Amino acid sequence: MKNLLPFRHKSDLSEKLNLIPFPNNIAWNGSIIYLDRDGVLNIGSENYINSPEELQLLPNVGDCLVRLRNEGYRICLVTNQSPINRGLWGHEMLEKIHDKLILDLKKQNQEAYLDLILYSPYTPYEDSISRKPYPGMLWAGNVIINASELGLSPYIPPNMVNNLASILYSEGVNSAMVGDRIVDYKAGIAYGIRSFLVDADIGLSHVIDRILDKNDKGDVLH
């Protein structure tokens, strides 16, 4: 397993987030919802989403994000994007795809926000801690969101694995990982939070009621 750090949409990992206030000035509940992208927010493809034009949101995902925000959750997108290191296209194309994602979510619901977008450009053969099923992107999301809530610039050391005890913040008990594939589930379990698998034809709305049920401990796979 290699200490290859994740990337962040249009920002350095060390840049403080400009966090959008919650509705009605409610406080952050301390928990983060980590979302996979394809099959959760948008229709996935076995051949990847290769351009903004190919991105098509699943129904009601904007409303789901608003429901999470209304309950005080921060939301972090964590997506494997190996086409970059496979040489199919570059970081600039992914930026355009994610710009389209942000815009389309706002079209579904004006109050739909993603607090943070992280991605892993690594192929499976690179064995990066930042590629799901490893939890590196979730670790980074924890640091960036918590530090930013405190008004601090986040710091993620190059050797993230060996410094976890000193960089990770206490995670809210209702945090969750949501994805449509077993690698997403495994990343959440490795991180130690509730993990939900969705029907990729339905996406986030498939489990939104379960996420908001604080007694639901997530899926249990054997």
In a domain, 2, yes or no: no
The pLDDT tens digits of the residues spanning 77-124 come to: 999 999 999 999 999 999 999 999 999 999 999 999 999 999 999 999
In a domain, 221, yes or no: no
Number of structural domains the chain divides into? 1
Number of neighbours of residue 109 by Cβ within 10 angstroms: 17
In a domain, 219, yes or no: no
For the annotated catalytic residues, the residue numbers are 36, 38
CA 6 → CA 13, 71, 119, 206, distances in Å? 8, 28, 6, 28
| Helix/strand/coil (H/E/C) assignment for every residue in 118-152 | EEECCCHHHCECCCCCCCHHHHHHHHHHHHHHCCC
In a domain, 1, yes or no: no
**Domain CATH code at residue 134:** 3.40.50.1000
Count Cα neighbours of 120 within 13 Å in the Cβ-side half-sphere. 31
The pLDDT tens digits of the residues spanning 134-163 come to: 999 999 999 999 999 999 999 999 999 999
List the domain range (segments joined by +) for residue 30. Answer: 7-212
| Euclidean distance between CA atoms 15 and 8, whole angstroms | 10
| Euclidean distance between CA atoms 162 and 44, whole angstroms | 34
pTM, rounded to two decimals = 0.98
H or E stretch covering 74: strand 74-80
Look over the chain and give the mean of its residue pLDDT values, rounded to a whole number: 97
